[in-house]
């Protein structure tokens, strides 16, 4: 990373052609004095701090003793060529912005320079604005890269191994497995388990504790995207590949390059795409939609499903060969009711964390009756449901105790919906009934029962996930106990 003590002398005094750009520290490497002078005059006018070198060796001296942000590097130098200097600079300071200048436009030099890490390439004679724009773009790209890396580190801090709570024997075994897959950079992991058990969380923990942590974690929920768009979302498309493809677009596997791609709800991936995913996993190669060349990337694939994938394979809805590919490291995450010891621990943890979040003076304790209630209930929505129940209890509960009546958990958790047809009919009283309100309540109830899982709530209501999302937005229920899925 290149740091530079910038003078704040007069950031406001920028030349009329130049949009506001923070002054930078720039090295001009150029043997022709006239060009050097012209560049220096223009750049100092924009308040940049400029130093000059007329040879490659002097340039390298200066680079090692100063914190430049940008190097403007002539391709033809008296003692060496620009690419050799570029290579040296990049080996010392991989993040430094280097812009190559050359008198002749040669595609092969340009390609080579960019491959070696040059930010841009300008051919002489150039006009000054061209150089200024090039510097500005390179600095902006640099700033964005630094910002992304900072955010990624910050995000990663939430996903240490200790983010996964639980001390039950099942959980301890699970944690051991997670640690061992984390240490290998590319094992393909399949997470299986019902909704709300922590599959997303585990995928992130694997990524953020692996050698890939500084690279992207990209998540795609196979059910959240229309089947016709899924392939282009995943593998990208070339311009003109289909009617709406006005631009070339990178797919998520390309965006994830170096990092991890998390394919959520893989059990719902259409068969046509399964074949392409299989090829990608086998050969690490893919084509953009409408593309004719094979591209390759280095990503770890983690997939997850809450459906019985074995059954899907048996019925032919899921390719067996793909299943084996995805399942090289199988991780089964059991439902919460099978981890009795963890229920109480998680409940207490969520009570604590929500009371801190809502700025309560102290976390409420659960009464013995409330604890009993929590232990008895069978938690169909698993940890997500428990989390939501505790959030509500802390938010709505008054005092420093959580009693059974503060826990909004339904019946014995086994009772089917109470709204039988005659029950619904009875809703229409003398004054009629607000149909919208009934709908709102049903949507809310479906979300509650599924612990906020939109896919499952939509299934309960026999509507599509898009139709559900539309209603959640309409009723202002988004974010209220709903899980952000894609």
Chain position carrying tokens 């998540």? 219
Q: Which entry of Mg ion, ligand ATP, none binds 387, CB below 5 to 8 A by partner kind?
A: ligand ATP
Q: Which residues pair with 366 in a beta bridge?
A: 402
- Output DSSP code: residue 302: E
In this complex, which beta carbon is closest to ligand ATP, that of residue 119 or of residue 382? 382
Q: Does 355 bind ligand ATP (CB under 6 A)?
A: no
We find the least distance from the C-beta atom of residue 221 to Mg ion, in angstroms, to be 8
We find the least distance from the C-beta atom of residue 228 to Mg ion, in angstroms, to be 23
Q: Does 219 bind ligand ATP (CB under 6 A)?
A: no
Q: Does 345 bind ligand ATP (CB under 6 A)?
A: no
Q: Does 200 bind Mg ion (CB under 5 A)?
A: yes
| Residue 286 to residue 292: CA distance in whole angstroms | 10
Q: Which entry of Mg ion, ligand ATP, none binds 288, CB below 5 to 8 A by partner kind?
A: none
Name the one range near Mg ion by CB under 5 A: 69-77, 193-201, 267-275, 406-414. 193-201
Max CA-CA distance within the chain? Answer: 97
- Among positions 427-466, residues that touch ligand ATP (CB under 6 A) are 453
| Residue 267 to residue 484: CA distance in whole angstroms | 19
We find the least distance from the C-beta atom of residue 79 to ligand ATP, in angstroms, to be 59
Q: Which residues pair with 190 in a beta bridge?
A: 303, 330
Q: Does 380 bind ligand ATP (CB under 6 A)?
A: no
Q: Does 268 bind Mg ion (CB under 5 A)?
A: no
Count residues near Mg ion (CB under 5 A): 2
Q: How far is CA 296 from CA 115, 169, 213, 282, in A?
A: 16, 41, 20, 11
Count residues near ligand ATP (CB under 6 A): 17
Q: In the complex, which residue's CB is closest to Mg ion?
A: 200
Q: Does 177 bind ligand ATP (CB under 6 A)?
A: no
C-beta of residue 453 within 8 angstroms of C-beta of residue 485 = yes
Q: Does 197 bind ligand ATP (CB under 6 A)?
A: yes
| Residue 159 to residue 203: CA distance in whole angstroms | 10
CB-based burial label for 486 (10 Å; 0-12, 13-18, 19+): middle
In this complex, which beta carbon is closest to ligand ATP, that of residue 102 or of residue 306? 306
We find the least distance from the C-beta atom of residue 320 to Mg ion, in angstroms, to be 24
Q: Which of 224, 243, 241 is nearest to 232 (CA)?
A: 241
What b/e sequence results for 96-108 when a residue is b if at least 16 CB atoms lie within 10 Å of its CB, and e otherwise? bbbbbbbeeeeee
| Residue 368 to residue 6: CA distance in whole angstroms | 62
Q: Does 385 bind Mg ion (CB under 5 A)?
A: no
Q: Does 166 bind ligand ATP (CB under 6 A)?
A: yes
| Residue 360 to residue 352: CA distance in whole angstroms | 9
Q: Does 206 bind ligand ATP (CB under 6 A)?
A: no
Reading phi first (left if > 0) and then psi (alpha if -120 to 50, else beta), residue 472 is in alpha
Q: Which entry of Mg ion, ligand ATP, none binds 384, CB below 5 to 8 A by partner kind?
A: ligand ATP
Q: Does 392 bind ligand ATP (CB under 6 A)?
A: no
In this complex, which beta carbon is closest to ligand ATP, that of residue 25 or of residue 454? 454
**Site residues (CB under 5 A) for Mg ion?**
199-200
**Site residues (CB under 6 A) for ligand ATP?**
164-166, 193, 195-201, 306, 383-384, 387, 453, 483
């Amino acid at each position: 990373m290149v740091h530079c003590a910038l003078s704040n002398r007069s950031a406001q005094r920028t030349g009329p052609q130049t949009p506001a750009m923070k002054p930078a520290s720039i090295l001009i490497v150029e043997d022709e004095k006239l060009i050097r002078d012209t560049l220096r005059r223009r750049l100092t006018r924009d308040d940049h701090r400029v130093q000059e070198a007329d040879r490659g060796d002097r340039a390298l001296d200066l680079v090692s003793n100063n914190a430049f942000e940008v190097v403007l590097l002539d391709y033809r130098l008296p003692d060496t060529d620009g690419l050799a200097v570029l290579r040296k600079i990049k080996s010392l300071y991989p993040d430094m912005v280097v812009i190559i200048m050359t008198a002749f436009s040669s595609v092969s030099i340009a390609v080579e320079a960019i491959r070696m890490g040059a930010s841009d390439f300008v051919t002489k004679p150039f006009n000054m604005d061209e150089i200024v724009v090039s510097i500005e773009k390179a600095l902006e790209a640099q700033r964005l890269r630094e910002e992304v890396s900072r955010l990624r580190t910050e995000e990663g801090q939430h996903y240490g191994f200790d983010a996964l709570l639980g001390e039950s024997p099942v959980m301890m075994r699970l944690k051991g497995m997670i640690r061992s897959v984390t240490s290998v950079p590319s094992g393909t992991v399949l997470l299986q388990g019902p909704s709300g058990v922590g599959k997303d969380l585990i995928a992130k923990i694997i990524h953020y504790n692996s050698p890939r942590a500084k690279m992207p974690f990209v998540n795609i929920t196979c059910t959240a995207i229309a089947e016709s768009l899924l392939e282009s979302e995943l593998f990208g498309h070339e311009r003109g590949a289909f009617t709406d493809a006005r631009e070339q677009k990178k797919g998520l596997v390309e965006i994830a390059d170096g990092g991890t791609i998390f394919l959520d709800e893989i059990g719902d991936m259409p068969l046509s795409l399964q074949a392409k995913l299989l090829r990608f996993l086998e050969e690490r190669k893919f084509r953009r939609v409408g593309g004719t060349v094979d591209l390759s990337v280095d990503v770890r694939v983690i997939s997850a499903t809450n459906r019985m994938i074995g059954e899907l394979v048996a019925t032919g809805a899921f390719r067996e060969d793909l299943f084996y590919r995805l399942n090289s490291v199988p991780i089964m995450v059991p439902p919460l009711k099978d981890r009795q010891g963890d229920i109480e621990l998680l409940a207490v943890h969520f009570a604590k964390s929500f009371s801190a979040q809502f700025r309560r003076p102290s976390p409420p304790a659960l009464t013995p009756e409330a604890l009993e209630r929590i232990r008895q209930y069978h938690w169909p929505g698993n940890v997500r449901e428990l989390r939501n129940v505790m959030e509500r209890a802390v938010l709505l509960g008054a005092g420093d105790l959580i009693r059974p009546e503060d826990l909004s958990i339904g019946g014995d958790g086994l009772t089917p919906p109470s709204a039988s047809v005659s029950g619904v009919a009875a809703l229409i009283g003398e004054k009629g009934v607000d149909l919208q309100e009934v709908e709102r309540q049903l949507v809310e109830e479906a979300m509650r029962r599924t612990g906020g899982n939109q896919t499952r709530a939509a299934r309960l209501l026999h509507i599509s996930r898009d139709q559900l999302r539309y209603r959640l937005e309409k009723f202002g229920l988004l974010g209220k106990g709903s899980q952000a899925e894609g």
